[in-house]
Structure 1
């Protein structure tokens, strides 16, 4: 009897362990629908039964002039005050959003898809500030989870949980602009393996159905095989977990363009100069000024916009707008500087990132592949607010120093390998108990002033959609707005077959509304582009991963090469896959108004390589001049403004005074050996190997190769 009981108990324990183990294995390796891996929602465009190619017919956004005309109508007759009555009350906007970054564009899309009449105005360009200067991650925040556990901080936990859910929506609504990325966490001591393994598995568990892939352990040899640049000393293995990566400014532009297609009024380079109030002291509009007129040498036109509610989504400049409403208001934003550097692609594997969770001063640094190069950062320190901050040499040196700690000693990490460097200002919400800005939670705050200014501040890229949803919810309540079903939804996909699951019934549907370019995107779309237009493979991949199905239009706008192959696509820089068709598309379909708009936010050349961007500037200016009918004076203005902007991207000081003629001649050089050592990517030509001095076979002694 006792034997039977022991046997039954053992069998029960074994069965229980087997079931539990099987459950864990199934949960870990269960089939997953990874965002971005599906076929295109809309079938690829191609040849019909008639044997003819049927190109897509995408809807167009209104021109910038038409959008400005709509804004003017809301304010009544020309020159009328903001408190005057427009000719038609329907012309008054439900919401006026100030700021065209991630939050502002997200709010505009949310409001437009709820049937609200919304306008968004941006002083510079969409994503011209913090939204273009992120680490390019779509993540829940592993370090926030660690803090949540050790500090028993529920707010940190809730932030991670929310971000993991939003990460899935992000990857699903913009699969062409975002993708999953494995990130390696190197281990230098065995005892760290179970600690970080538990952390990454907890991260997987929290993601649940929103997860991408599960984390896993790599032995030392496997880690070095996956990331050959790693330092071998003390390396015992590595853990790999998954997060998302994205193209931030292109995501921002796509949000704005999608909002415009759904009926929103979206205008860049339009500055708010004052807020207007009615007789009861409630905000009812704003006065704006068109800054493009000034660039053209004209007197800037000023006019009024009327709206039932005003939303302040200006990031680091939040308090400046709040003080337009009330000069005595207390500041709520704690600006923090985050510096990133761009290094050549050979610093990291093409499909594997790296995180150092404990730098020399206790911060976290990421080292990630991005757009063919490598991005490293970031710093985190209090700063002053300015328009185009310049990354300091101290911060750049710190990042390079941290990189040296975990890269192999035979990799010479040099200042000259920094192709671009920039500083972004994070608009962190103040926490009076925090000792430094690094300890601040990257959460958002929604605040409504007595006069009705609704401010949405803080947050991060991953949770932009949730921030926008909460902001519009509050606006509907505060301004007594009535959402309406969208009955005339645009045919964004260019096909009648599409149904992306969004029920545009007046409720928030941005978790299902696919952004412009998403419907016809698939991982193999680039092949269709190569076969139809004869573009090079790297260009085809770049276009589909930057524009989605709109790559068809971009390729069609690209110039013929007059070669057998490639047939189309003249590069604006020989080093990168950006082509002339992108400049034309940016002007015609994405409201690009300046050369910087194209070099920094429509393409990412300025962020990838400041000197290459300088060399491409003449081509970009000439193409835009053709499109926008610029005068020679305006072209000179563009040159001056672009070179000045490139200073904030890390352009060497000696090149800030470069003329267009010097750049086009290719005779720009570093002013001295010190600058050469700092900025050059290679050794000076005079540094020869001993074998070189004897002359190469078949080459005359006086030939350039032997000089």
Structure 2
């Protein structure tokens, strides 16, 4: 999953003939670009995770379809996921060359014959005709009874929702969008009046969590992956929104502390493994040696020393807290620990100089497209040349 600058909002592309015969495609999806796909042998698991080799293959292939001025890098990939595709094998043959991608006839030891698409074939050969007209043609899906393409305008006018949020709710819930809007809390601002976002970059709002629970959502993973697609769109955004989501679900479902911690652990595991965040982190952990200019390295080191309040060669949670307080920034304690964990590659509880430079090197080289710590501190790390600074003595 990539940002939406790789494809038009209403046009996709598919090429069935890549360098090794696999299919490649670009598809616009929820203001992002979905790129894929590839097949690789794997072991059976109920938690399939994307392989870095497959991500690299897809990136290599799609670069050939874009203009030279657009550079697609590993850091541009916001999430990646995989699934298991079962292929039928003839049990009488031991080789894998007999794998079938359509269907086969299977005769079990008991004599039961299983033939895929049997009924369809019987209808075709005997020219069987339906005895009555289809009875489900005019049955609306949930939310479709009173839906129309301009429903989002009503949501803006009647509830004071943000335009982007209103369009999202209307297209997702249909005429049930009004039910979601009624659950939305005041923002405390003149506009939008209601609809607190779960993450500033996406139109999902807190009211959707409450609505989802009342529609039998029972886990945080269910909400970030199925009730919404946040984890599929951006793993960092999903992780940043997770504490708020769990708090809202806790109030609705009356979770105790143990269950709340369990939900967080399972959701983070899902984001890291099945949504590819861990593979992405591993990519820049195993990146090439530092390739920074003296100016870039100097700027990064000065920033590190500025945040290392204890001057002990490592940035701790206390260092981050003091830095943000002195900068006038209010950052939650849980977020501080998340920021530290994101850059603490050796997991010793602090960010060392080498780790800090490694992450910065990844951003410069395109392996890391977004990192919370560096995003907060990036303005401190940009050296300003004299001709752009106004000079001075």
Q: TM-score, normalised by structure 1?
A: 0.39
**1:541-552 pair list within 5 angstroms:** 541-552=167-178
SS at 1:420 equivalent: coil
1:425 pairs, out of 77, 81, 84, with 84
Provide the residue aligned with 1:607 in structure 2.
Answer: 232
Separation in structure 1 between the aligned mates of residue 104 and residue 242 of structure 2, nearest angstrom: 37
CA distance in 2, matches of 1:427, 1:374: 26
Distance 1:585 1:445, change over 3 A: farther
Contact preservation (8 Å) 2:90, 2:98:
no
Q: CA 1:445 to 1:418, structure 2 compared with 1: closer, same or farther past 3 Å?
A: farther
Q: Matches of residues 3-402 of structure 1 in structure 2 within 5 Å?
A: 342-402=1-61
| Conservation of the 8 A alpha-carbon contact between 1:584 and 1:624 | yes
Task: Tell which structure's C-alpha radius of gyration is larger.
Answer: 1
Contact 2:231/2:275 (CA < 8 Å) preserved in 1? yes
* Larger strand proportion of the pair: 1
1:595 to 211, 215, 220: 220
2:157 to 521, 525, 531: 531
Q: 1:576 aligns with which of 188, 192, 202?
A: 202
Match of 1:435 among 79, 84, 97: 97
| Structure 2: 5+ residue stretches without partners | 121-130, 283-316, 318-331, 346-354
The Cα of 1:383 is off from its aligned counterpart by 2.6
C-alpha RMSD over aligned residues = 3.9
**Which residue does the alignment assign to 1:619?**
244
Aligned: 1:663 with 2:352: no
> Could you say if the C-alpha distance between residues 430 and 653 of structure 1 is closer, same or farther in structure 2, counting changes exceeding 3 Å?
closer
Residues in 2 aligned to 1:518 and 1:449: alpha-carbon distance in whole angstroms: 48
SS at match of 2:83: strand
Q: Does structure 1 conserve the Cα–Cα contact (< 8 Å) formed by 2:36 and 2:58?
A: yes
CA distance in 2, matches of 1:455, 1:622: 49
- Going from structure 1 to structure 2, the CA distance change for 1:393 and 1:653 (only over 3 Å counts) comes to closer
Match of 1:680 in 2: 369
Distance (Å, rounded) in 2 between the aligned partners of 1:425 and 1:362: 20
Cα deviation, residue 664, structure 1: 5.7
RCO greater where, 1 or 2, for CA within 8 Å and sep 6 or more?
1
Q: Distance in 2 between matches of 1:356 and 1:687?
A: 41
Q: Deviations over 1:478-537 (max 9, x none)?
A: xxxxxxxxxxxxxxxxxxxxxxxxxxx999744543221122222211111111111111
Counterpart of 1:561?
187
Contact 1:429 1:445 (C-alpha < 8 Å) held by counterparts: no
Please state whether the residue corresponding to 1:355 is helix, strand or coil.
Answer: strand
**1:582-605 deviation digits (Å, cap 9, x = unpaired):** 10110002x100111111110110
Report the Cα distance in structure 2 between the residues aligned to 1:385 and 1:536, rounded to whole angstroms. Answer: 44
Taking the aligned partners of 1:446 and 1:547, their CA distance within structure 2 comes to: 43
Matched, 1:410 2:64: no
- For residue 633 of structure 1, report the CA deviation from its aligned partner: 1.3
Deviations 1:176-207 (A, max 9, x none): xxxxxxxxxxxxxxxxxxxxxxxxxxxxxxxx
Shift of 1:693: 4.8
Evaluate the alpha carbon distance shift between residue 653 and residue 348 of structure 1 in structure 2; reply closer, same or farther with a 3 A threshold. closer
User: Residues 506, 616 of structure 1: CA spacing in aligned structure 2 closer, same or farther, 3 A cutoff?
Assistant: farther
Determine if contact 2:145/2:175 at 8 Å carries over to the other structure. yes
Greater share of helix: 2
Provide closer, same or farther for how the CA distance between residues 444 and 565 of structure 1 changes in structure 2, counting only shifts above 3 A.
farther
Matched positions, count:
309
The structural deviation recorded for 1:662 is 3.8
| Deviation by residue 1:129-173 (Cα, 9 ceiling, x = unmatched) | xxxxxxxxxxxxxxxxxxxxxxxxxxxxxxxxxxxxxxxxxxxxx
Give how far 1:359 is off: 0.8
